[in-house]
Each structure stands twice: as C-alpha cells, then as structure tokens.
Structure 1
Amino acid sequence: MLTEVVDRVMQKELKIPEQASILVAVSGGPDSIALLHILESLSKEYRWRIGVIHVNHQLRGEESLLDEQYVTDVCTQLEVPCWTEAVDVKKAQREEGGNKQDIARALRYEVFAKVAKRESFGYVALGHHQDDQAETILMRLIRGTHSSGLTGIPIRRKWKEIELIRPLLSSSREMVDTFCKQHHLEPRIDQSNLVAEYTRNFLRLQIFPELEKINPKVKETIAQLGARVLEEEEVWKEWEGKALEQVLLRQDDRQVSWSRKRFQDLPIALQRRVVKLILSSLEWLTDVEITYSRIEQIRNWASSPTPSGEIHLEKGILVRKSYEMVTILKQSNKDEATKLTWEELELKIPGEIEYHPSLGTIEACLFEQPQPTEWFSSYPSAVFDYDQLPDSSIFVRSRKAGDRMSCFGFQGSKKVKELMIEKQIPRHLRDQIPVVHIEGQVLWIPDVRRSAIAPITNQTSCYLYLRWHSYKMLE
C-alpha cells in the first residue's frame, strides 16, 4: 500500500519526470530505509537514477559508526551507489553556540547540497512523514508562530539549485512501520528518539498519546490543517506582494524602508505579512528566527504615535522610525555611534572646506550679481548680503546643545533642536548636518533653515552664496 501511495505522490503531486536523478537521504531509520526501497523499486519503471547520501553526525559514538555501516550494506545489496560524509556537530556547537539539533540539521543539509551538486543529482528525497508534519505544526503552534508557520514541512522546496522532495509526507509512521515488517527490513533504531529530552520527542512520546485519546486521528487532522493553510497561503502571497509594493520606499542589501502612513492604512493582518516579507528578504537575517512576537514588536513600533526613534533587536537588527518612514537595517559601527563630531573649521571666503571626511563639504562663493536659481538648485544653498555680515571669520562645526538661531518672522531666536524637529530631520541624522556660524550666531543649517542675519535687499551689491555638497544621501 505504501508503495502505491508514494508512486501517486511522485507522479501526481511532485511530478517527477522519467530518468530523473534522485539522491535519497538515508539515516538508517525506518522512514529513510522504507523510502529507499520504494524509490529503488519504482526506479525500474521510471528509469530513475537513484543514489544514497548518509551523514554521520558523530554524536552517538559506536552507534553512529554502526548506522553508517548498515546503510552502506543496504546500498550494496540494492546495488545503489552510496556516499557517506561525517560532520562534527559538537565542534560547531562549541565554536558557534546554538541548539545541537539545529546545528546537526544545518550541517546535514549542507552535505546534501554538496553531494547532489558534485554527483549531478537534481532531487534530494527526504523521509519525513505525516507524523513528522503533525509534530512540526504543533511544535510551532506551542512556541508561537504566524499562520504561514502552520503549513508545516513543504512537500517540495527549491534549495541551493536542488529540489528537496518528501514523498512520504502524506503517509503515517504506522504505514512506514508496516511496510518494513512486510518486507522483512530491519532498520536501525536511534535510541535518542526514545528519550523525551527534546521537544519533538516529548510531543511524540507523551503529548500525542494523550491527544489521541480525544481524537485517534489527531495527527492526520493536524497534517490536513497544514495542507489547507498551504492552499490559502498561495492567495495570501499575492495579497502581501501587492501590499509590499504599496508601502516600500527603498531596499538594498543592508536595509529596507517603507512608508508609515501607507503601512498603517493596511489591515493588521497584512501589516504582519508585510513585516514578515521584509524580514525574509534580508539575506543577513537568515540565522534569525522570524517569530510572531518579533513581527508584532516591529509592527507595533512602526504603528505607534511616537514620531521618531529606534529599537535594537538581537543579531544587530535596528528598527528606526523617522517621522513618515520606517527602516530595518543591520546595525554597524556608524549606527552605534550616531553622534558625529569634528573640529570647528574656518570657512575661507571664497573657498571650500571638508567639514567631515565621510559627509561632505561647504563651499563659499562671492558674486556681484544674484545667480540664477539653476546655479544652486541641485544642492542645499543659502545666500547672504556679504556687506551686512560682521567683519569676522565664518566657522563650520557640528551642532551643540543649546544652539539657537534667529529666524525670519520670529521675535528673538529659536532652538536649533526645535527647527530640526519641525523639518522632520531624524534624530540619528541631526549630528551629521553642519552648523555654519559667525561670532557665535548660527548663520545657516543646510536642509534646515537660513537665519535672519544679512538678508538680501535691493541695495545688496555683494552676494555670498553658501552651498553644501553632501557626499551621499544620509542614512
């Protein structure tokens, strides 16, 4: 019966063509041994090229070596080529930290990809079955997941130029065990699977037996739920893709920015989807689990009334809100030290100074006639009546606490901090904007405001133009 089920899955669901090259991942346990025998028997009809990869995780001493020898012997009997690879899980855990099971899985899949590519296999067949699917979905539900996590293990997935396929995913562990008994197979039993130390084992050994008292087909029911959610996910993907297009402002290999207003106009369900889609698109986030709580943290921060600020998450994730824009980026040394300061520099007139080696220059030019708008429209600029300025040097520096500026239309002066807030200059950028001053009075702040000092009049005969050449868009 199991052979017929796998045959149907291979043809109808996976649509594996004739003469395909299939590398079967075989641990030596019942699932992978049954899958190997079934695919090997079907290969005669469909002319598939079958091979085996066995990964020795070196976690169980002599038992691991016996598993490897057993798989090698089975392949010899079936006349199927076999490749064995050893990985050092314990060493990787010492060097990188993390969960032992996750590290073993990552190393195992890297071996699959390497051998498949080297030996020209287009598919890697894995022995996950319906019980594994139910355990995975319940485990994600308990830990906290978004709805897409309820799809469970995909029956087919493209990964590193190969296709990962799971022909047993609609078959139960009971069907696998029955197949092994009927065909007198004696697979290896990993004794660590019988200890409720790991979450998956605990669910299988203690939780599911209790749930089956309520519903004997609970595993099948949960797996069917995953299948239905998967179908619905195809519709959601189209909706969330369109929503992302609506809100996205900028994206590169370091950061993603989107519109707060457009984001807040989305239904909450789509907001969550968009955040997840953004996190999934960042290659440097591949080692960070995208949990429901993480998505909610970012979504709530983006939607909160606070106009600007930032939150720091694990793995160097920085979520920055700047008025109408939200940005997720990888924190760098520059982000960790947002206050950029430099020496106070004198601006020669005419002349030019580099006010900071990474930010830009200030240029000063004198003219007897006003210049056309086109002359300075491409850069932040300001013009003054040079003869009305104090007979003193002009300096450029970073902002200081307590800086004030006299402004047209205001009596007295106004705090520079307030002016920057009014212009919606993000907090993390305010120290990157130069302050031009003379005799202690703020004369001009590029992209913010020109002071009321030395205005142009009909009597102006000498025009001082100041122009800010920024090296790059401030981030």
Structure 2
Amino acid sequence: MSLELKVKLFIEKEQLLQQDDHLLVAVSGGVDSMALLHYFVKAKGQWGITVEAIHVDHMLRGEESAEDRAFVQKYCDEHGVYLHAKAIPIPEIMALENGNTQLICRRERYQYFKEVMQKTNASKLVTAHHADDQLESVLMALTKNATINSMQGIRSQRFFKGKSLIRPFLTVTKSEIREYLLKQGLDYREDASNSKDTYVRNRFRHHVVPLLEAENPRVTEQVTHFTKQLQEDDAYLMTLAEDVFSRTVKRIAGNTYSMEIEAFQLVPLALQRRLILILLNYIYKDSNTIQSYALLTSISKLCDTIAGNAEVHLPEGFIAVRRYGKLMIQKKDPLEGQASLEKKIIATANGWTTLANGERLCVVKLPDLSSEMLTDTAQIFYFNASKLKLPLYVRVRKEGDRMLLKGMDQPKRLSRLFIDEKIPLNERNSWPLLISQYDEVVAVIGVRMGMLFSTTPQPNDDTVLIVD
C-alpha cells in the first residue's frame, strides 16, 4: 500500500480533517516534515483545505540552521505555500535559564506555533510524528515512567490552545516516508545532531530499535496497534472513572479537593488509578507531573487505610493529607508554622464581615436584631457587651492560645481543642478565631464558642453575634 493511501485511510478513520480546514504544517526541512508538507500540497484540493507552513530556526547550528530556513522557503516559493518563519535565540535563553536544551526548544517552538495559529486563525497544527517515533516513545516510557498515560504513546490528535494538533503520519514508518519523498524527486535537509547519541531518543533509535527490528521487522506496526488498543481501552475506562469522580471527589474551593477514603476503596483498582489521574489533571498543567508514577503511587498509598493521619508533599506547593478517613489535596499553607497574626476588625454597626473561609460575621445590638438579617443557615449567639467589649477581632492561632469554655475552671489549649473537634491538621493554622480587645480567644468560628456566649438570651445579654 502506498504512503498516500495509508495516510488517506488513517485521516479518514481518525477523522483528522474536515472540509475547509486551515492547516499550519510544522516544517523543519528534514525528511519527515518535507514529506508531510508535500503530501498536503498535493492533496489540498482533494480534502478542500488551506495549507500554510511554519518553520523555527533554533539558532543552535549557526549558518547550517539558517540554510534550513532558506531551503524550506525555496520549496514554499516554488509550490505557492505561505511560510511563517522565526529565528529564536535558544543559546541566549539557555544561558539565562541553564535548562534542558530540548525542553526549552520545544517550549519556544510551540509558543511561536500558538502565536501564528491565533494570528492566522488556523484550525489545525500538523506535525510529522510517525510510527518509528511511536515505537521510540513507548520504549522510552517503558524504561523511564511506565504509567497508564505514557504507555499509550503519541496520539493521532489532541487539543492545542483551543484548536487541534494532528499527526497524519503516525501510521507510516520512517523508511516509507523517505521512499515517498525520493519518488517525488524532492530533497531534504539532514540535521547532523540526529546522528549523535547525546539525546535519549537518539540512543534508542540507533541501538535499541535495530535489535527489535532484527527480531521482528514489523515491530513498529505491532506497537502502533498496541498503543491504539490501549488508547481505546483507556478512553472507555476514563469515561467510567469520570462518572465515579463526580460522585466521589468534592471540589471545596479553588484547587482544594476532598474524598472519603472508604468510598474510594470500593472502586476497582483500575478506576482508582484513573481517579487520581483525573485529580492531577485538574491540579497540574505539566504532563510529566501528571504522569509521574511516584506521584500516583504515593497518593494511592495514602488511601490504603483510614487509620491514623499522614501527608505527602506534592509538586508546586500542594499537599495530600489523610485525616479522619478523608483524603484532602490542597495548596500547602505558606504560613504553616508561622501563621499570620494580623487582626481583622469585626464591625459593630450591623455590618457584615466575610472571612477567608467564606463564613460571615455580624455584631448587632439585641433590639436591632430582625428576621430579615437571618438566613436558614445563620447561627445566633448572645452576649453582654460590658463583659466582652466591642469591637471584636478575627485572627488565626498563635502558639499558646487557649479558650475558656463553659463548665471548665481552666482555659483549654486550642491545639487540644482542634484535635478533639477533629479539625484537619493542615487547616488549623488558618482557622478563624474570634478575639477580644485583650487578644484573648473567645470563639473558634464554626467549631466552639467560649463561655461568654450563649445560644439563648440571658438576663443581661444586650448584643448578638450572627455567624452565617
């Protein structure tokens, strides 16, 4: 079967193209991308599409990489294709960041792709990944990070900045691509770095893949079928997992999620792993972080039991905490261990004060209390303003805080109160406390009120605290 027919059938099966698509074909000048561009130049009438090309000079090989751009420009001029091109000073960026060359190149290259797609309103970015790339990707994943996602290899299409990225050559091999280009009588540029073993992919390409092909010349085709089956199976299991996720995991606020561990344990293991992957997808943008086997395993182990308390520190300042049979993932409190002691004044003239946790407080004189001020969830606490002088304040806890409770001769340490009331450890340093003018704790909002408050009015009570 010819390359043209294989690619056509693959595009139809995967539904990669639609009538009137505006394609932006990424072209380096190498054999793969030149064949890709030429295929679409020839087939654009057949598909009813618009084709433009985009090229990035990473400025890593001096005059040689500048010649790559000139080579691509010459082809585009001869075939009536508009070329978007840019030279990006990768050596300068590397000097500033001291990062990984390939990662920096990829980041800058795709940022430029994004800019051009937005400017031209192109519907799809097209890259020349092929079946050999698929084989190499699976082998690399197997030896480095064999997770559910990574073993599925390269996908034929994915979302890219609100548009699509498609890979129509994913079903053809490197040798088929080279043979196609030679038959078309076209030349290409050879990147000298491809022959070096500096990069991991090159080492697999030069040393591992030939051994596998010696055992089975069709190994690339076999791996293509294997990844496709994995992708299809995973898509079905993810549909089931998303349904379970919606019933099991609660989003509290922002990037804070919680779930009952016992409910999680009732879910089959295959779905448990995917529940965690869905959660990581909500929290992180970096695919390497999401696909980390160590991260997946550490969170799974937290859910092995509901006994005891434990926590795992995650990337980017997140923390996974097991407390009282519940798993919670949230941003670690940056002030943990040195909680801010800044006071927030509580208004004294019928004004509402909203706290960081969403609770609202209002202090009113008892004669001014009206039903219009109360919601179905409001709590009312009465007190005597001569014993608890206004205004009141709110702050978080500090070392040694205590509170006097009704029926007790001595004030109770807040650290003990938080334990008794089963307040999660990671929330204690930010829990709002109601404070008197003398910096004494008179209430732990939403947990316990001190001895100066009562839920029914006493003879001398003249003021009300509303908590909603």
Which residue of structure 1 lines up, in the alignment, with residue 258 of structure 2? 258
Which residue of structure 2 lines up, in the alignment, with residue 422 of structure 1? 420
Give the Cα separation in 2 of the matches to 1:179 and 1:393.
Answer: 85
Backbone CA RMSD of aligned residues: 4.1
TM-score, normalised on structure 2?
0.82
**Stretch of structure 1 that moved more, 123-132 or 261-270:** 261-270
Which residue of structure 2 lines up, in the alignment, with residue 60 of structure 1? 61
Which residue of structure 2 lines up, in the alignment, with residue 128 of structure 1? 129
C-alpha displacement of 1:186: 2.4
* Cα deviation digits, residues 305-343 of structure 1 (max 9, x gap): 46556543332333345545544334574x556623257
SS of 1:197's equivalent in the other structure is: coil
Mapped contact 2:280–2:290 kept (Cα < 8 A) = no
Change (3 A) 1:38 1:405: closer
Give the Cα separation in 2 of the matches to 1:109 and 1:453.
Answer: 62
Describe how 1:51-450 pairs up with structure 2 within 5 A: 51-250=52-251, 254-261=254-261, 262-282=263-283, 288-305=289-306, 310-323=311-324, 325-331=326-332, 333=334, 335-336=335-336, 339-342=339-342, 378-379=377-378, 381-383=380-382, 399=397, 401=399, 415-431=413-429, 432-434=431-433, 444-450=443-449
Mapped contact 1:366–1:462 kept (Cα < 8 A) = no
C-alpha displacement of 1:436: 5.4
The alignment of Structure 1 onto Structure 2 pairs a total of residues equal to 463
Give the Cα separation in 2 of the matches to 1:394 and 1:24.
Answer: 67
Give the Cα separation in 2 of the matches to 1:106 and 1:225.
Answer: 29
Give the Cα separation in 2 of the matches to 1:285 and 1:338.
Answer: 30
SS of 2:149's equivalent in the other structure is: helix
Give the Cα separation in 2 of the matches to 1:439 and 1:220.
Answer: 77
Mapped contact 1:151–1:227 kept (Cα < 8 A) = yes
C-alpha displacement of 1:98: 3.4
Give the Cα separation in 1 of the matches to 2:453 and 2:21.
Answer: 80
Mapped contact 1:362–1:469 kept (Cα < 8 A) = yes
**Stretch of structure 1 that moved more, 224-233 or 258-267:** 258-267
Which residue of structure 1 lines up, in the alignment, with residue 459 of structure 2? 461
Change (3 A) 1:230 1:367: closer
C-alpha displacement of 1:133: 0.7
Amino acid corresponding to residue 341 of structure 2 in structure 1: T
Mapped contact 1:257–1:325 kept (Cα < 8 A) = no
Mapped contact 2:24–2:126 kept (Cα < 8 A) = yes
**Stretch of structure 1 that moved more, 150-159 or 306-315:** 306-315
C-alpha displacement of 1:107: 1.9
- Gap regions ≥5 residues in structure 2: none
SS of 1:147's equivalent in the other structure is: coil
SS of 1:250's equivalent in the other structure is: strand
Give the Cα separation in 1 of the matches to 2:160 and 2:354.
Answer: 45
* Cα deviation digits, residues 90-115 of structure 1 (max 9, x gap): 33334445321122122222222332
Give the Cα separation in 2 of the matches to 1:456 and 1:243.
Answer: 41
Change (3 A) 1:342 1:316: closer
Give the Cα separation in 2 of the matches to 1:376 and 1:68.
Answer: 68
Amino acid corresponding to residue 315 of structure 1 in structure 2: E
TM-score, normalised on structure 1?
0.81
* Cα deviation digits, residues 202-250 of structure 1 (max 9, x gap): 1111111223333333222222211110111220121111111012222
Give the Cα separation in 1 of the matches to 2:201 and 2:435.
Answer: 64
